[in-house]
Amino acid sequence: MKLVTHREMRNNSGEILRAVAAGESVQVTNNGQLAAVIVPPVGATVDDLILRGQARRARRPRADLSTIRRRTSTLSSQELADDVRGRW
């Protein structure tokens, strides 16, 4: 992670933002104290993976979970938890 001062950020903002856009994270200090951390947007990493052929976009849209019928149980929450933990 690159470390720059407030002054460097002001004077070289274009260069620093290009580095961030390329995937680098940058810490910015002000009077010797960490003031900010600039990181690339989360979506950029997925887009980069797609461009490199390491991932692909979903073929189908997200499922509409509201169409799933709700079910009720005769078991209490504690009984369900005990069952999951193997305590029958």
Predicted local distance difference test score (pLDDT) of residue 32: 95
Tell me if 26 sits within 8 A of 40, measured CB to CB: no
Predicted local distance difference test score (pLDDT) of residue 27: 97
Break the chain down into helix, strand, coil percent, rounded to 5. Answer: 40, 15, 40
pLDDT in tens, the chain (88 residues): 899 999 999 999 999 999 998 889 999 999 999 999 999 887 667 788 888 888 898 888 888 888 888 888 898 999 989 989 987 6
Domains of the chain, CATH where assigned: 1-56 (3.40.1620.10)
Predicted local distance difference test score (pLDDT) of residue 24: 93
Predicted local distance difference test score (pLDDT) of residue 70: 85
Predicted local distance difference test score (pLDDT) of residue 44: 63
Predicted local distance difference test score (pLDDT) of residue 15: 96
Helices and strands per DSSP (H, E), number in the chain: 4, 3
pTM of the predicted protein model: 0.49
